[in-house]
């Protein structure tokens, strides 16, 4: 049996991870549950899975959990990241949303853990530090994002030197056909309704703006050691082909499945084995056709911005991510328009100091500066 620590257990990835583990209780034991502030959901999970360790990032939520479970070990605040390096854990599922996912990833890798990674932001912002942690600790990253998992699976069809390019697919989100002049009127409620996937609030909005795909471009470059010119994006509204790899002989290998994150989650947990999944089988006969087309960069400026951040490196990937995190938060609060999100990130990328991200202090400084610049943009709006 593999002992699993689930970071972000009450979120979309975390809850779907627990769904997979529930189907295979003889294969996986829940050693630790770590979540943010949703005490009610966390308490229900603790009752069901009885983890040895519980981590609650929010101190008020931690107090409620301690009251409910006085005999359980409850860790709170930033100390929850240390759970990732504890003995007794075989797999760390990193389903933390945003920049904070960097800290459990680095700690887990330094201690030699296998990390099922759903957090793009960590490798986008801290790629050099993550690489150092991999080399130092001997840990391993297995991708959980459906696109990166698809590429990971497709790459088994050939050798690295035979790869011509990788092709990330994207649904295009909720507004791929909305007239451009109407995008400024998009509300948070509209942006949080994805046509295909069941995801968290932030990532669903990122799907609508395509910042999610921009982060995946940079993530793929790190995970698969590819340069920007070898990574392409295609809009694929049906979300059946999760991504593809083109080889030097012009063969294209694709991974298909229903749009259900549990497929990628389970493959990361069971790799290199495959076992029955809770996801539904794919019925290709039920589709009238599968379509693909190039992304409209006027509609989705996040795509060219991501390539620029990837090619220049330094502080720009952090500016891209952290500026977007602030902008999305302000959009949800009604302080920015939908179309202001890309403008905010463009502003931050243009203004941020260019520094090398060689250590955690530089990482935190660049993140802080990116957030300051984004907040200044929001105030002026």
Backbone CA torsion sign across 316, 322, 325, 330: negative
Query: Phi-psi region for residue 351, left (φ > 0), alpha (ψ -120 to 50) or beta?
Result: alpha
Chunked mean pLDDT (size 10), the chain, 381 residues: 97 96 96 97 98 97 97 96 97 96 98 97 97 96 97 97 98 88 91 70 89 97 97 96 98 97 97 95 93 94 98 97 97 95 98 96 98 92 71
pLDDT at 374: 97
179 and 250 co-located in one domain: yes
End-to-end CA distance of the chain: 53
Q: How far is CA 231 from CA 167, 169, 217, 259, 363, in A?
A: 6, 11, 7, 22, 25
pLDDT at 176: 87
pLDDT at 192: 80
How far apart CA 76 and CA 63 sit, in angstroms, is 9
Tally of domains within the chain: 3
Instruction: Show the tokens assigned to 175.
Output: 């507004």
Q: Which domain holds residue 57?
A: 2-143
102 and 52 co-located in one domain: yes
Q: Give CA 283 to chain center in angstroms.
A: 27
Peptide bond into 272 cis (omega under 30): yes
285 lies in a domain?
A: no
275 lies in a domain?
A: no
12, 203 contact by CB (below 8 A):
yes
Give the domain-ending residue among 297, 326, 349: 297
pLDDT at 378: 86
Give the domain-ending residue among 109, 143, 177: 143
Measured in residues, the chain has a length of 381
Give the domain-ending residue among 78, 113, 143: 143
pLDDT at 196: 66
Q: Residue 31 is part of a domain; what is its CATH number?
A: 3.40.50.720
The residues, any chain, with a CB within 8 Å of residue 50's CB and separated by 6 or more, are 30
pLDDT at 92: 98
155, 148 contact by CB (below 8 A):
no
């Amino acid at each position: 049996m593999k002992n699993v620590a689930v970071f972000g257990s009450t979120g979309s990835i975390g809850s779907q991870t627990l769904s997979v583990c529930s189907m295979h209780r003889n294969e996986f034991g829940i050693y630790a549950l770590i979540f943010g502030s949703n005490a009610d959901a966390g308490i229900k999970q603790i009752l069901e899975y009885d983890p040895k360790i519980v981590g609650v990032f929010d101190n008020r939520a931690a107090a409620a959990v301690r009251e409910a479970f006085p005999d359980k070990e409850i860790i709170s605040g930033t100390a929850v990241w240390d759970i990732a390096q504890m003995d007794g854990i075989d797999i760390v599922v990193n389903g933390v949303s945003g920049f904070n996912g960097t800290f459990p990833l680095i700690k887990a890798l330094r201690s030699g853990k296998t990390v099922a990674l759903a957090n793009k932001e960590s490798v986008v912002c801290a790629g050099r530090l993550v690489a150092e942690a991999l080399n130092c600790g001997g840990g391993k990253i297995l991708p959980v994002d459906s696109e990166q998992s698809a590429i990971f699976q497709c790459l088994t069809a050939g050798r690295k030197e035979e790869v011509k390019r990788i092709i990330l697919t994207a649904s295009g989100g909720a507004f791929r056909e909305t007239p451009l002049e109407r995008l400024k009127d998009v509300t948070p409620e509209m942006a949080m309704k994805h046509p295909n996937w069941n995801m968290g609030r932030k990532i669903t909005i990122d799907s609508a703006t395509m910042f999610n795909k921009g982060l995946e471009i940079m993530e793929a470059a790190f995970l698969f050691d590819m340069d920007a010119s070898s990574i392409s994006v295609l809009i694929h509204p049906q979300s059946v082909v999760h991504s593809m790899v083109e080889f030097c002989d012009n063969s294209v290998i694709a991974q298909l499945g229903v749009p259900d994150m549990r497929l990628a989650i389970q493959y990361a947990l069971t790799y290199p084995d495959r076992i029955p999944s809770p996801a539904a089988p794919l019925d290709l006969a039920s589709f009238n056709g599968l379509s693909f087309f190039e992304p409209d960069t006027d509609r989705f400026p996040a795509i060219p911005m991501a390539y620029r951040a990837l090619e220049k490196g330094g502080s720009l990937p952090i500016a891209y991510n952290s500026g977007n995190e602030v902008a999305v938060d302000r959009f949800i609060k009604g302080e920015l328009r939908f179309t202001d999100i890309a403008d905010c990130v463009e502003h931050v990328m243009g203004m941020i100091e260019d520094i090398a991200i060689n250590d955690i202090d530089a990482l935190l400084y660049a993140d802080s500066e990116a957030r300051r610049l984004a907040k200044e943009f929001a105030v002026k709006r």
